[in-house]
Structure 1
């Protein structure tokens, strides 16, 4: 789902800046700061959940030849006999070839999406002393569902909504089973594992046993030094989540962000829950924040306040282990106000006010592939495409009326954002080590003069490392990163136990460019390179250390300020 656009540090009007600090000292709007500071979620992908490939039955008579008469296929309802019947009628065939024909029927079912099928071959004497063959197909189906798990509570009802459509599907599509189990595992705090057991009575009848565990409370805390220096380089994010207390499989989340200088803070409350059993999810959120940066802006009495709210839907069009496709839609509101003092000790006055109302539509895709079969492991790719449309209603600002942060802003804007990434394993240089390449490319396109909160923001921990998030922005932007990763694990031992330390060394190169429509200023760019180490102590604790060399020293433009060539960044992440 598209996240809310938080403009935590709204910029002031150009008229305010005429007698104050240079524009580079104005805090960036930073939309979506919660999402920018939060750790990225890795794609939840893996091999398809399929039973083992059927193996041929062999014996001492495999080479015995039989004159084949008629061939009958029975028990098949999903696939026609013409598609399954082997080309053996009227020929001589060995028992091994008959077994191969049986496996071919199983393979045809499997390729059609039905892996839970059995095929038995039998022979009888027919006309002219020939052997008639009968292939009896038993199509598996789920006749009963049993849930196994203590303390699940009312959320069990949402699990049953996801699983109920499986009952009676004959034959059972393995894609439907995989989707239902994954959706059950998508319930916040829930883990679901399925087991199929044969039942007595109707041939092919199966019982699906789902073992459930629930974590009612989850969350994480993150601390890093990638923030804006005037509001506090060290920024801490605390997120608490209450999971699945009702029959809708909901999550209530509270996120709190604060910088070390108390120059910036934000709080957001969100609620999400499922609607029905298709995977459709509704999410609502509201938040507010304040920015009171130091340095020259403090002398101006700069105070920025932000409020956001919205509601959105997401639907997993495809939900499987090897690939996912999500559709999203959201309507949200964003209001920001900047106040300053016209002279010392004077009361603050409004310098600018922006109100953005927007409709946001998106599609998100994830996939694993083995296109380069000679490489040691499968690759993971992601892609997103989002269309943002400003709504000139519901109290939205009018850019032509003045009083906005960017004079002439088009609040009926249209902008398109595309992003793609790929993680490609390359080689195993030594036992227990894996060398991989990782890349991201992203771009935004619009023909409009965007409100500041809708610009494309560069910098932070993804696109433009070595620069704070929002240090460069533009109506149009393009950015990319390339990373070489070397990963392994070490055993850590201490007197009372030990753990496996996941270790990843990496080198990176970032490049980005942004420009504003209708501006005489040429496109500006960011460039940096560096390396670091990511240490994963267990599922709960992670430490990142990164060293950066900035190739761009004046990202805000010539004559503003020159950045140090080198920087070191740290991050501590604790999950609970």
Structure 2
């Protein structure tokens, strides 16, 4: 009987973790769960966030000895301007030098947080060697925004845009944040133009909202566990601004080519609230499994529900920080011969943060999450000696990509630590698309663990035809898991693999991946020596 219960516990962990590690996101564990994936990915900016106009022509000038620079109309401290003028102090300057001096003043503004400015060098006597420069700092005097025909009113875009009118002078950080929030609206592709106003320093912000109403995704991969079907399919449908601007409704279906092994459906809805970019998301999911156990008729079900709040603490073109908080629950039932053997109910509160940084050649993401299990709201474990409802764990992820003209280097690491005995759905799993690529999804799992991977790719230029944007790559990865309880039916384990492949951009927004991977460190004797694994994966957005 103990052997049977151990087998059931193993299977429960496998189908929960395998679902959590599936191709483009989680299945049983919703992909928005803070400890599984970063909170958000900032949209790439397409509008300049600063505009400086340096009018440094003082007219005809007789050479004179420069002594001091006076900048009028500036909200910045005078010290940076004095530093910019130091190279000219005591020197005889000409008209060309004055133009360079005005450019130096413009450089101070370019390095500041002022978004819009005009620098003027008026005609003057230059008495006592004093050069007077006037600055006009810009502000948004009006916002022109039209609603989209056949769409809900653009109230959220208007709220974000009108917030710019409250600041004078307008700061880059404010402009970047508000334009970023407009682009973060699901499906949004706004056309934003900064136009000259009718007063000095005044500009008009002309916004033409454009929303892609319907979106879809398709992913097929051959990384699944054999018991649940090695080839798995995921279909996603997304509707933007269905009820009001800023909402998004998602539905996901997942299943293997051996359809009876599992079926999953998930539904989620998110909505932006308020003027600060906060979003609230709710999701539910249902998973049914019937793994291939060589004669055992073992069926399982799992139900999930979650509520997550995400707030952009910092939102800019290059650096972003998101804070998250959420509550989620999982009800899983595993039955044998029509009798319920294992029940697991988890209720978990999570808080976390995600930081992203990007430049022209690098992209980095860091995520950390604290998860606290609640021994309340109906939470219970099938075997309290093996797992506990009131667990605490810390998990994190870090990725960094470096791009050259013809190459890409991608590094990733993830880890989890706890001193508690975790439920199966909370364990750290290795195996699948990111770590342990020579193995099936979640081939090993443990209460604590870490993993790392490195990939180097040679890329075909985006302008080259055919197969623009395709790449050939090699990779190596490693992962290790440990169990808190020495009485666990699972064991401490590690896996490592190396391999390579090609990603072919056969059509726009679609990638075919052909990969060969070899296990190089598979210490688990129960799995034996693994041959070279060949995989075909496909993903597309439409």
Normalising to structure 2: TM-score of the pair?
Answer: 0.88
Shift of the alpha carbon at 1:42? 7.2
Residues 245 and 533 of structure 1, relative CA distance in 2, 3 Å threshold: same
- For 2:363, the equivalent position in structure 1 comes to 380
Q: Give how far 1:540 is off.
A: 2.7
| Residue matched to 2:275 | 277
Superposition deviation, residue 171 in structure 1:
1.4
State the SS of the aligned residue for 2:227: coil
Shift of 1:56: 8.1
Query: What corresponds to 2:143 in structure 1?
Result: 145
Change (3 A) 1:26 1:295: same
Report the 3-state secondary structure (helix = DSSP H, G, I; strand = E; otherwise coil) of the residue aligned with 2:189: strand
Partner of residue 349 from structure 1, selected from 339, 345, 350: 339
Aligned to 1:224: 221
For each residue in 1:99-133, what CA deviation from the matched residue of structure 2 results, as whole angstroms up to 9, or x when unmatched? 2332233222332211310110124337xx64653
Q: State how 1:537-576 maps to structure 2 within 5 Å.
A: 537-553=506-522, 557-558=524-525, 560-562=526-528, 564-576=530-542
1:413 aligns with 2:391: yes
CA distance in 1, matches of 2:70, 2:459: 55
Q: Secondary structure at the match of 1:453?
A: helix
Equivalenced residue count is 523
Q: Deviations over 1:458-512 (max 9, x none)?
A: 111111102111210001111111111110148898xxxxx65321110011111
1:251-266 correspondence runs (5 A) = 251-262=248-259, 263-266=261-264
* CA distance 1:133–1:58, shift in 2 (3 Å): closer
When structure 1 is superposed on structure 2, of 317-326 and 472-481 the one drifting more is 317-326
Partner residue, 1:315 = 311
Match of 1:336 among 312, 332, 336: 332
Deviation at 1:564, TM superposition (A): 3.3
What is the DSSP-based 3-state SS (H/G/I as helix, E as strand, rest coil) of the residue aligned with 1:180?
Answer: helix
8 A Cα contact 1:66 1:95, kept in partner: no
3-state secondary structure, aligned to 2:156: helix
Pick from 404, 425, 429: which aligns with 1:457? Answer: 429
Q: Which residue of 2 aligns with 1:167?
A: 165
Deviation at 1:449, TM superposition (A): 0.8
Q: Distance in 2 between matches of 1:228 and 1:291?
A: 12
- In structure 1, C-alpha distance between the alignment counterparts of 2:265 and 2:165, rounded to whole Å: 44
Q: SS state of the match for residue 134, structure 2? A: strand
Q: 1:380 deviation in Å?
A: 1.7
Counterpart of 1:487 (choices 445, 449, 459) is 459
In structure 2, the partner of 1:303 is: 299
Unpaired segments of 5 or more residues in structure 2?
A: 26-36
Over 3 Å counting, the alpha-carbon distance change for 1:260 and 1:303 in structure 2 is: same
Write the distance in 1 (CA, Å) between the matches of 2:153 and 2:276: 16
* Alignment-derived partner of residue 240 in structure 1: 237
Separation (CA, whole Å) in 1 of partners of 2:14 and 2:478: 20
RMSD: 3.0
- Decide whether the 8 Å contact of 2:57 with 2:121 is kept in 1: no
CA drift of 1:352 comes to 0.7
Report deviation, 1:168: 4.0
Note the residue ranges of structure 1 that are not aligned, 5 or more in a row.
1-12, 342-347, 370-376, 429-433, 494-498
Q: State whether residues 325 and 366 of structure 1, in contact with CA within 8 Å, keep that contact through their aligned partners in structure 2.
A: yes
Correspondences of 1:289-300 after superposition (within 5 Å)? 289-296=287-294, 299-300=295-296
Select which of 8, 25, 28 maps to 2:14: 28
Cα deviation digits, residues 385-411 of structure 1 (max 9, x gap):
1111111111111x4xxx33x733121
Q: Distance in 2 between matches of 1:518 and 1:14?
A: 17
Does the CA-based 8 Å contact 2:194-2:203 persist in structure 1? Answer: yes
For 2:46 and 2:152, the matched residues in 1 are separated by: 31
CA distance in 1, matches of 2:22, 2:314: 26
Q: CA deviation at 1:148?
A: 5.2
